[in-house]
Amino acid sequence: MTQAQLAQYVRVQAQTMGKTLSRLEAHGHIARVRSTSDRRSHVVSLTEQGKEAVAQAVEMERSVLASASIDPELLRQELKAVVRELASQFSTTPANAGALMDNVAK
């Protein structure tokens, strides 16, 4: 997926995505290479280290949810409520709040 596609997918500015990807790249979790079809864009992919980090995060989530007897759907609803509250306190636009809630749902 290209850097621009990722930014659009998670509903953030391209500049924000670029900064985030720079940090992930510095930690060895992703690799960015110029697109062969469009030299202006970068294609982003997970490295082996990145795949391991994702697998560890998924396992940690499962572990926490299982040990705490938390209903994943209830947790998502609660997190959405927190995002709504934060959005209202920080004057986040409805579009940004929606994007935050969509990301919580994933």
Query: Average pLDDT, stretch 66-72?
Result: 77
Q: Is the model's pLDDT at 25 over the cut of 70?
A: yes
Q: Is the model's pLDDT at 92 over the cut of 80?
A: no
Q: Which residue has the higher pLDDT, 31 or 86?
A: 31
Cα 102 to Cα 26, 36, 90, 98: the distances in Å are 27, 32, 18, 6
Minimum mean pLDDT among 32-36, 58-62, 71-75, 95-99: which range? 95-99
The pLDDT score that the predictor gives to residue 95 is 54
Mean pLDDT of the chain: 83
Query: Average pLDDT, stretch 81-101?
Result: 67
